[in-house]
Structure 1
Amino acid sequence: MQNFDYIIIGSGQAGIPLAFSLSKEGTVAIIEKGFLGGTCVNNGCIPTKAYVASARRVWDAFHGDDLGVEIPEGTKANLKKIKERKDELVNESRSNIQRAIKKNEKITLYHGEAHFLSNYEVKVGDTILTAKKIFINVGARAVVPEEYREVPFYTNENILEITDIPQHLIIIGGSYIGLEFAQIFKRFGSEVTIIERNKQLINREDKTVTDVVAEIMKAEGVDVVFNAKNITIKENNKDGITLKIDTKELKGSHLLLAIGRCPNTDTLQLQNTTIKLDDKNYIKVDNYCQTNLEGIFAIGDCNGEGSFTHTSYNDFQIVEDFLFKKKQRKISDRITTYGLFIDPPLGRIGMTKKEAIEKGYEILVAYRPMTKVNRAKEKAEKQGFMEAIIDAKTNLFLGACILGVGGDEIINGITNLMYAKKPYTVLRDSVHIHPTVSELIPTMLENLKPSVK
């Protein structure tokens, strides 16, 4: 039995900063069954955004004429070199974490899968660890339905390891992950088809967003099949895979599953504890990430309170504040914000129009297409729009989205205003730099209109 003051299971974006914070107060054990750094470092943000950047360079090379630049033919994506660059970035992040842990005498790293023996006892390999405070940071993984398990398939993890560009990539799922990989590989040179069971892409978004995203995919040359309710694998051989969608057949060389995510809590043997899960196997937590057991916390994707690196890091901040500071940070204070990192990107904060109306708000909407933003026109990147949702009674932002050039960065200005709980008029009356995309947000806010349900 090894006794520690703290045990952290998983080395993701909540677990690692928490380990170094806790090490100032006592001894820390980190248990990691895979690579250090969690999803963000290994098969999430860092590697995929590296691929997005490479795909953008390919796009630039084929669109020189848009800006009067003649670029000789012959541009092609070299996936081996693209992967090498990605691996360098990933390995650098892993190595930095490894070195920092090694230098810290209060932190002990255990490699292996953690299993609970009881509420406060954890086994890894042949070693049993115990602590009065345990932090579960095991993350999530791609959902793989039973019908796909007998055929070769890729997820967001292993598709990042291939070195040959797929001839025809079929993607099951038209949401955030599927869309990013669709555009990436289309730009790399693949034929790409997205299979979506709903009548629109990214079903949680407003139709204004999904329609434009569909237009972007169409402009890229990505095929999308909607309302695909009945999907079966008809054939699988060396030539690839054949799907039957209702009565139609579709043949491809590679299959990517981007159907959704599920928590990795099933690996922990939580049946040996009294830790409570919800109906989707996420660990139930209170406003401070603490489970129903005192001293046991769930942080990051596995608690179901967020599925992003920024929410995972905020979980660390909440727990640190709860343990050592003023207990002022809470999950309920967090405003939902995220991005869709296609090109052009989507930046989203707060509610969609649909959510605001369903919650009974009387809303005003500001809207401006990128075709009426001079900076976007000058860049020859006119796809998309900006939109803000205002509470008609309080003049506060309920939400906003910017789908267009720079949208993933520009949205943070509205994020700051929402956290400050300031009315939209503060932004409307501000003076922005010219020429920029964001300077048209104040102009947009001068023309609020009631929402059409």
Structure 2
Amino acid sequence: MVDAIIIGAGQAGPPLAERLTAAGMSVAVVERKLFGGTCVNTGCTPTKTLIASARVAQMARRAAEYGVVLDGPVRIDMARVKARKDEVSGRSRQNVERWLRGMPNCRVLQGHARFESPGSVRVGDELLTAERIFLNVGARAAIPDMPGVRDVELLTSGTILDLDHVPRHLVVVGGSYIGLEFAQMYRRFGAEVTVVEKGERLIGREDPDVSDAIRELLEKEGVTVRLSANCIRFARHADGVEVGVNCTSGTPSVVGSHVLLAVGRTPNTDDLCLDRAGVVTDSRGFITVDDTLRTNVPGIWAMGDCNGRGAFTHTAYNDFEIVAANLLDGDPRSVDDRIQAYALYTDPPLARVGMTDEAVRRSGRRALVGQRAMTRVGRAVEKGEAQGFMRIVVDADSQEILGAAIIGPGGDEAIHGVLDMMYAKAPYPTLQRAVHIHPTVAELLPTLLGELKPLE
């Protein structure tokens, strides 16, 4: 018997193990595959490493715009690109495993964990028991039951990372965050790229002008976008895979040498035997938790992607912080206090915090908005990257900052000035009166707040 069992060595599990062992508890960490979870192995670390290579390729193609002369066309050594990605990701994975194995009072087991009762878990031939069990099992790419999906070879956000060559024509099914990052990346590597999206616009959860701006920057680089794809289906073709797009208008299908299916994620909860523990999940398999991440079964918590309360590395790590604060520090932290914040890592990126304009309108608040095109942001113009815009929305009565969006260079960093003000619950004049460094993108945030107009 141990004091705690942690299933999954993703972004929440290892730091929790460190806190628990430091508090004098014995801990067993179970990982059935790769240490570090999605972020280190198939998410942030490898994809952003690839995006960095794709950006270098794109900037090399644009060198003449900056007065830099390069002889000959830009060539992509995809095997070397992959090797660099594998090296960065592999080093992070090894560091996580080394950290856990070197942790006092922490035992690491590799294998598939399954519940046998609310307080016991079997890993191979060994039965572990504990009063506290923490689930950090993550999620994987969803493969819905679409026509022909089982009849063809498809890539997911995980398996596409194994490619050591550039596809002739990559068809990306799914016009949301993961799909769009790969679409731009592989276009920059030299592939023909088509994005097929079922909805009427890309990244449908965003405001329409945000969706339009992202579509514009992708199409400017040569990515073909097909929207309102109401007849998505798959069939084998002599040149690869035929993807059905539309049954009523436009070219009815597109043929790709490779097809990436990027239509969402599904939690890794289907083979944990949760029913033996009595742990409740929702209709999609996400583990139901309260605002402190406790499941319906006393002594069992769920953190990270598998609980459906966030789908990012930063939310998974915050889950760890919430659990540790409540369990060890007597600090009543809650997931409901978390402000929504994330980024889409196209180049330039989209950074988002808080409410969209559409959500503010639906709330019925009297709101004010400030907006500026990147063509009026000196830092963006100087860098030759003046695509996109920045926007901030505030409550006209309480002066609360409600949300912001930045599409532009460094937007993923600049947005934190807004996010920090929101967590501090500071009224927007506090940010408006700040003196920011010039020349930066963030220096325009006070300017936006000085140009507020009613949100229509």
- The TM tier, using the shorter chain, reads over 0.9
Whole-angstrom distance in 1 between the partners of 2:124 and 2:237: 38
Q: Would you say the 8 A contact 2:151–2:236 is kept in 1? A: no
Structure 1 residue runs without a partner (length 5+): none
Match of 1:18 among 16, 32, 52: 16
Whole-angstrom distance in 2 between the partners of 1:358 and 1:149: 41
Whole-angstrom distance in 1 between the partners of 2:267 and 2:119: 21
Q: How does 1:129-148 map to 2 (within 5 A)?
A: 129-147=128-146, 148=149
Corresponding residue of 1:38: 37
Q: Are the structure 2 counterparts of residues 273 and 102 from structure 1 closer, same or farther at C-alpha, using a change threshold of 3 Å? A: closer
Answering whether residue 311 of structure 2 is matched by residue 307 of structure 1, we say: yes
Whole-angstrom distance in 2 between the partners of 1:149 and 1:118: 35
Corresponding residue of 1:339: 343
TM-score by length of 2: 0.97
TM-score by length of 1: 0.97
Report the 3-state secondary structure (helix = DSSP H, G, I; strand = E; otherwise coil) of the residue aligned with 1:410: helix
Corresponding residue of 2:198: 197
Aligned-pair distance for 1:78? 1.1
Report the 3-state secondary structure (helix = DSSP H, G, I; strand = E; otherwise coil) of the residue aligned with 1:116: strand
Corresponding residue of 1:159: 160
Q: Would you say the 8 A contact 2:151–2:235 is kept in 1? A: no
Q: 1:165 is matched by which residue type in structure 2?
A: V
Corresponding residue of 1:170: 171
Whole-angstrom distance in 2 between the partners of 1:244 and 1:20: 50
* 1:108-137 deviation line (CA, Å, top 9, x unaligned): 111111111111111111111111000000
Whole-angstrom distance in 1 between the partners of 2:335 and 2:102: 32
Whole-angstrom distance in 1 between the partners of 2:151 and 2:321: 42
Structure 2 residue runs without a partner (length 5+): none
Whole-angstrom distance in 2 between the partners of 1:381 and 1:425: 29
Q: 2:150 is matched by which residue type in structure 1?
A: R
* 1:264-287 deviation line (CA, Å, top 9, x unaligned): 111211121211112221111111
Answering whether residue 217 of structure 2 is matched by residue 216 of structure 1, we say: yes
Q: 2:430 is matched by which residue type in structure 1?
A: V
Aligned-pair distance for 1:65? 2.2
Whole-angstrom distance in 1 between the partners of 2:174 and 2:414: 28
CA RMSD after TM alignment: 1.1
Q: 1:127 is matched by which residue type in structure 2?
A: E
Corresponding residue of 1:289: 293
Identity %: 47
* 1:172-194 deviation line (CA, Å, top 9, x unaligned): 00000000000000000100000
Answering whether residue 271 of structure 2 is matched by residue 267 of structure 1, we say: yes
Q: Would you say the 8 A contact 2:198–2:230 is kept in 1? A: yes
Corresponding residue of 2:422: 418
Match of 1:319 among 310, 316, 323: 323
* 1:22-51 deviation line (CA, Å, top 9, x unaligned): 112211111111100000000100000000
Q: Would you say the 8 A contact 1:387–1:401 is kept in 2? A: yes
Q: Would you say the 8 A contact 1:151–1:236 is kept in 2? A: no
* 1:372-415 deviation line (CA, Å, top 9, x unaligned): 11111111111010000101111110000111010000001111
Whole-angstrom distance in 2 between the partners of 1:425 and 1:121: 54
Report the 3-state secondary structure (helix = DSSP H, G, I; strand = E; otherwise coil) of the residue aligned with 1:73: coil
Comparing 86-95 with 301-310, which one deviates more in the overlay? 86-95
Q: 2:133 is matched by which residue type in structure 1?
A: I
Aligned-pair distance for 1:151? 1.4
